[in-house]
Amino acid sequence: MSETNDLKSRLKSMLDARAKATASQAAADQDKADAQRQEADLIEFMQDSGLQSVKIDGVHYAAKTTVYATIQDRDALQSWLENSPEADDDLMQFRPVAQRLNEIVRTKLANEEELPPGLSWRPKHYVSVKSDDK
């Protein structure tokens, strides 16, 4: 009987821990969404005010945009990779490494070149924060 009680106690403890983890994740997701909304509001405020960057109390804040690759057509991208000097071993195994695809897209856009077939891009707007202390 003691083993049954011990098992029940362990099962209850596990279920309580799972419930706590789920609640913690939900709270973390909400906090992240709130932070993203506040950042978007700040970017809009800075743009409306004509500010690209500002320094307050030794901390530099700058509204930035970074471009990220988006795979639109995997087959077209695979075909392009097979004939591209930009394709490295990781990409040729067609485990599209986001960092490399982002580099290719950013370079193509900066050089006003056509993107590879199957790739598109999306911007991510954010506020860069750099302290003079670092």
User: How do residues 110-126 score in pLDDT, each as one tens digit?
Assistant: 999 999 888 999 998 88
Domain layout of the chain by residue ranges: 1-51, 53-131
Q: Check: CB of residue 125 under 8 Å from CB of residue 46.
A: no
Q: pTM of whole model > 0.85?
A: no
pLDDT for res 70 = 85
Q: Give pLDDT tens digits for 15-32.
A: 899 899 999 998 999 999
Percent of the chain with pLDDT strictly greater than 70: 91
Q: How far apart are the first and last CA of the chain?
A: 61
Do residues 47 and 95 touch, judged by C-beta distance below 8 A? Answer: no
CA 118 to each of CA 8, 11, 50, 88: distance values in angstroms, whole numbers, following the listed order? 54, 49, 36, 17
Cα distance between residue 71 and residue 118, in whole Å: 6
Among 2-16, 28-42, 60-74, 89-103, which range has the highest average pLDDT? 28-42
